[in-house]
């Protein structure tokens, strides 16, 4: 409260200064901003413009019909107060997205939440709480904020453009109320003093500090003739501020463009196999509204080998230390070359980035049916569920021989099998030192013939028959590499290949806006730094001849915002005065 009063007081004080102050300062100040530095300018201009609105005015209702109403709305929207409200709203609106599961991150969690909280969940869903960052309300807040920002910044930019070519504001008539002042007496003439001070303020030619005007005041009834200096530094402060705000707009636009043009595909590739960069070759594929298939560069890639490294010391036992995928990339032109993909080091091919997002084991499994026919043969990726790579997988065996049922095998692959006392098995280390496949067996209609897309990692066992042993326990098949084991109930056999191939989960992403996003982000950072740390100061000097014949030099300084360096700046000016005897 007291601060606001101070701002008003200072504004009022500067108001009495010469009119030129307004033009030189650049003029435009957003509605509701409190800034003694710029407010002086406003105080000067507004009475001249014939009244205008009250400077601290709260919302005053329009009386000018709908054009007036629109203008009123626009003025409110671009005011500092509303910008502040929108910023606060934005902060609050971002929070639910960290508390509730989000579709774009974890679809399964959202479904789980909906199942657990049917009523609340439905309402939350209706209001977009599972897609917070693309919801109408979140978008509305940031779009309004950006409209406000543009409405606020464009006029300010124009004003700043004029101010950049303006001159420092003329010397105020009284120095008393400025936050930093000083006086010295000198034996030099006023003109000599002013020349020396101007020289000091201008700084070195290769590093100019202040923009300086030197002038002379004629004697009047109330005061003697004087030589004056008016100087201003720190125009870059406002430049930085504007660059920062405009860069935010650029950032928003480039992020949005990237959203429209990008694509992202996921593929699971096992050792020795490959894939082509085409929509059909991906397990999942997601794209922006303006994506065109032609932006997929037709290269292809083979996974030659995959290597992993895990800590084996007692403290960090089993913790991942390094993953490397060795691949061969074949360019559209036909030439191929060997590359590696590592976590943190995506491979860039034709502007698309390929990431190593996951890895695991894809054991080679062959199932023969009761008739001895091979019903299934292939590599089955098992998904790791813990740090020791206890991995879960499903084999869905179709009915190749007439009259037989379909078979489902569900179970775990353990790279290093460890048998517990109670008969359970677990994996003791992520590397395949003693691999074991543990399977349960189901039979019935797996729905393989309906042509309905299915999750390959899940088997709905509700309608299936489980194989049990004599005691009624579920049969648990243990298969080691190179072994063939009989399926229960005479269903046939299952065998595991001697080699356990690895697989990698690759993410391929292309976003043409990345460079722009980075440039605008860095521009924002640079602009912000300049605007926060460039001191913006005005210094005025008036040198007059006193009755005693010596020269009295008065100096005043004004800064934008808090500026601990203002008084030292004034002190340096005082020190630059030639021929001083004593300090006043």
Partner 1 sequence: MQIAELSVLLVWAAATALAIALVAFATDLARLSGTRSEARAVARAAREAVAVGAGPTSAGAAYGPGTSDAGPTPVRRRAAGIGMSTTWLGALLLLAAIVLRGIAAGRTPWANMYEFTLVGTFVALAVFLGVNLRRDARFLGAFVAGLGTLFLVLGVNVFYIEAMGVQPALQKYWLVIHVGVAISATGIFTVSFVASALQLLRDGRDSGSPYLASWRWLDSLPTPTALEAQSFRLNAVGFVLWTFTIIGGAIWAEDAWGRYWGWDPKEVWSFVIWVVYAAYLHARTTRGWSGRPAAWFVVVGYACVLFNFTGVNLIFNGKHSYSGL
Residue 245 touches which member of ligand HEM, partner 1, none, C-beta under 5-8 Å by kind: ligand HEM
Least distance CB 64 / partner 1 (angstroms): 24
Task: Tell me if 448 contacts partner 1 by CB under 8 A.
Answer: no
In the bound state with partner 1, the residue whose beta carbon lies nearer, of 390 and 406, is 390
In the bound state with partner 1, the residue whose beta carbon lies nearer, of 132 and 437, is 132
Task: Tell me if 6 contacts partner 1 by CB under 8 A.
Answer: yes
Q: Which of 509, 535, 545, 572 binds partner 1 (CB under 8 A)?
A: 509
Give the 3-state DSSP-derived string for 313-370, with helices as H, strands as E and coil as C: CCCCCCCEEEEEEEEEEECCCCCEEEEEEECCECEEECCEEEEEEEEEECCEEEEEEC
Query: Contacts by 106-109 with C-beta closer than 8 Å and gap 24+?
Result: none
Least distance CB 150 / partner 1 (angstroms): 16
In the bound state with partner 1, the residue whose beta carbon lies nearer, of 128 and 179, is 179
Residue 377 touches which member of ligand HEM, partner 1, none, C-beta under 5-8 Å by kind: none
DSSP string, 472-533: SPBP-EEE-TT-EEEPGGG-EEEEE-SS--EEEEEEEEE-TTHHHHHHHHHHHHHHHHHHHH
In the bound state with partner 1, the residue whose beta carbon lies nearer, of 32 and 393, is 32
Task: Tell me if 178 contacts partner 1 by CB under 8 A.
Answer: yes
Report the site for partner 1 in 23-62 (rule: CB under 8 A): 32-35, 56
Residue 164 touches which member of ligand HEM, partner 1, none, C-beta under 5-8 Å by kind: none
Least distance CB 36 / ligand HEM (angstroms): 11
Task: Tell me if 253 contacts partner 1 by CB under 8 A.
Answer: no
In the bound state with partner 1, the residue whose beta carbon lies nearer, of 199 and 322, is 322
Three-state DSSP class for 291? coil
The tokens of 33 are what? 């901003």
Least distance CB 195 / partner 1 (angstroms): 28
In the bound state with ligand HEM, the residue whose beta carbon lies nearer, of 46 and 125, is 46
Least distance CB 166 / ligand HEM (angstroms): 17
Please list, residue by residue across 311-343, b when 16 or more beta carbons sit within 10 angstroms of its beta carbon and e when fewer do. Answer: eeeeeeebeeeebbbebebbeeeeeeeebebee
Binding site for ligand HEM (CB under 6 A): 30, 33, 35, 78, 80, 83, 145, 148-149, 152, 241, 245, 248, 528, 531-532, 561
Give the 3-state DSSP-derived string for 39-99, with helices as H, strands as E and coil as C: HHHHHHHHHHCCCCCCCCCCCCCCCCHHHHHHHHHHHHHCCHHHHHHHHHHHHHHHCHHHH
Segment near partner 1 (CB under 8 A), from 209-217, 220-228, 288-296, 524-532?
Answer: 524-532
Q: Which of 150, 475, 528, 545 binds partner 1 (CB under 8 A)?
A: 528
In the bound state with ligand HEM, the residue whose beta carbon lies nearer, of 256 and 575, is 256
Least distance CB 8 / partner 1 (angstroms): 8
Segment near partner 1 (CB under 8 A), from 44-52, 190-198, 422-430, 521-529?
Answer: 521-529
Distance CA 516, CA 398 (A): 51
Least distance CB 379 / partner 1 (angstroms): 24
Could you tell me how far CA 498 lies from the centroid of its own chain?
47
If one counts every other C-beta atom within 10 angstroms of the C-beta of residue 292, the result is 9
Segment near partner 1 (CB under 8 A), from 332-340, 368-376, 480-488, 566-574?
Answer: 566-574
Decide: 124 and 97 in contact? Cβ < 8 Å: no
Q: Which of 51, 65, 118, 176 binds partner 1 (CB under 8 A)?
A: 176
Q: Scanning the structure block, which residue is given the tokens 């359970």? A: 424
Task: Tell me if 283 contacts partner 1 by CB under 8 A.
Answer: no
Least distance CB 68 / ligand HEM (angstroms): 21
Least distance CB 74 / ligand HEM (angstroms): 11
Report the site for partner 1 in 113-152 (rule: CB under 8 A): 132-133
Least distance CB 248 / ligand HEM (angstroms): 5
Task: Tell me if 572 contacts partner 1 by CB under 8 A.
Answer: no
Report the site for partner 1 in 76-105 (rule: CB under 8 A): 80-81, 83-84, 87-88, 90-91, 94-95, 97-99, 102, 104-105
Report the site for partner 1 in 320-359 (rule: CB under 8 A): 320-323, 342-346, 353, 355, 357
Please provide residue 433's backbone torsions phi and psi, each rounded to the nearest 5 degrees. Answer: -90, -30
Residue 152 touches which member of ligand HEM, partner 1, none, C-beta under 5-8 Å by kind: ligand HEM
The tokens of 50 are what? 């014939």
Vertex 378: Cα angle to 373 and 381 (nearest 5): 140
In the bound state with ligand HEM, the residue whose beta carbon lies nearer, of 563 and 569, is 563
Decide: 160 and 152 in contact? Cβ < 8 Å: no
If one counts every other C-beta atom within 10 angstroms of the C-beta of residue 564, the result is 8
Please provide residue 476's backbone torsions phi and psi, each rounded to the nearest 5 degrees. Answer: -120, 110
Please list, residue by residue across 526-537, b when 16 or more beta carbons sit within 10 angstroms of its beta carbon and e when fewer do. Answer: ebbebbeebbbb
Distance CA 13, CA 321 (A): 67
Give the C-alpha distances (Å, rounded to integers) separating 547 from 354, 544, 552: 83, 10, 10
Task: Tell me if 7 contacts partner 1 by CB under 8 A.
Answer: yes
Angle between helices 514-533 and 235-261 (to 10 degrees): 160
Distance CA 97, CA 113 (A): 14
Least distance CB 345 / partner 1 (angstroms): 7
In the bound state with partner 1, the residue whose beta carbon lies nearer, of 69 and 525, is 525
Among residues 131, 262, 225, 179, which one has the least CA distance to residue 6? Answer: 179
């Amino acid at each position: 409260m007291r601060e606001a009063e101070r701002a008003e007081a200072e504004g009022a004080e500067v108001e009495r200064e010469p009119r030129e102050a307004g033009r030189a300062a650049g003029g435009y100040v957003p509605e509701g901003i409190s800034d003694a530095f710029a407010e002086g300018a406003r105080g000067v201009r507004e009475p001249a413009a014939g009244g205008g609105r009250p400077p601290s005015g709260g919302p005053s209702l329009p009386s000018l019909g709908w054009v007036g109403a629109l203008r009123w709305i626009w003025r409110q929207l671009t005011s500092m107060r509303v910008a502040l409200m929108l910023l606060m709203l934005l902060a609050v609106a971002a929070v639910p997205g960290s508390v509730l599961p989000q579709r774009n991150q974890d679809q399964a969690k959202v479904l789980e939440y909906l199942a657990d909280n049917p009523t609340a969940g439905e309402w939350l869903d209706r209001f977009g709480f599972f897609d917070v960052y693309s919801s109408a309300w979140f978008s509305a807040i940031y779009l309004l904020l950006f409209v406000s920002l543009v409405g606020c910044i464009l006029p300010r930019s124009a004003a700043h453009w004029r101010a950049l070519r303006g001159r420092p504001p003329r010397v105020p008539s009284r120095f008393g109320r400025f936050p930093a002042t000083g006086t010295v007496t000198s034996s030099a003439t006023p003109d000599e003093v002013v020349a020396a001070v101007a020289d000091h303020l201008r700084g070195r030619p290769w590093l100019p500090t202040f923009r300086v005007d030197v002038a002379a005041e004629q004697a009047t009834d109330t005061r003697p003739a004087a030589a004056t200096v008016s100087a201003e530094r720190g125009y870059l402060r406002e430049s930085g501020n504007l660059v920062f705000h405009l860069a935010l707009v650029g950032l928003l636009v480039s992020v949005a463009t990237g959203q429209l043009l990008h694509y992202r595909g996921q593929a699971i590739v096992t050792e020795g196999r490959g894939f082509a960069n085409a929509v059909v070759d991906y397990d999942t594929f997601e794209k922006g509204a303006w994506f065109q298939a032609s932006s997929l560069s037709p290269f292809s890639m083979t996974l030659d080998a995959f290597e992993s490294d895990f800590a084996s010391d007692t403290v960090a036992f089993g913790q991942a230390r390094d993953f490397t995928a060795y691949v061969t990339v074949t360019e559209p032109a036909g030439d191929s070359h060997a590359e590696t993909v590592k976590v943190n080091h995506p491979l860039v091919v034709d502007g698309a980035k390929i990431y190593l997002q996951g890895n695991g084991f894809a054991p080679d499994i062959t199932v023969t049916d009761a008739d001895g026919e091979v019903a299934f043969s292939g590599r089955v990726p098992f998904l790791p569920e813990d740090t020791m790579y206890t991995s879960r997988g499903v084999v869905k065996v179709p009915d190749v021989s007439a009259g037989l049922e379909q078979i489902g095998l569900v179970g775990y692959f353990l790279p290093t099998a460890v048998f517990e006392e109670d008969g359970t098995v677990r994996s003791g280390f992520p590397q395949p030192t003693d691999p074991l496949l543990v399977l349960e067996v189901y039979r019935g209609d797996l729905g393989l013939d309906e042509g309905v897309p299915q999750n390959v990692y899940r088997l709905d066992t509700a309608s299936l028959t489980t194989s049990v042993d004599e005691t009624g326990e579920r049969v648990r098949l243990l298969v080691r590499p190179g072994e063939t084991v009989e399926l229960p109930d005479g269903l046939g056999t299952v065998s595991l290949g001697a080699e356990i191939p690895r697989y990698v989960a690759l993410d391929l992403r292309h976003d043409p806006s990345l460079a722009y996003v980075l440039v605008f982000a860095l521009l924002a950072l640079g602009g912000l730094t300049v605007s926060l740390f460039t001191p913006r100061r005005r210094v005025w000097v008036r040198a007059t001849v006193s009755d005693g014949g010596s020269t009295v030099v008065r100096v005043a300084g004004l800064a934008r915002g808090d500026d601990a360096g203002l008084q030292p700046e004034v002190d340096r000016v005082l020190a630059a005065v030639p021929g001083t005897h004593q300090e006043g």
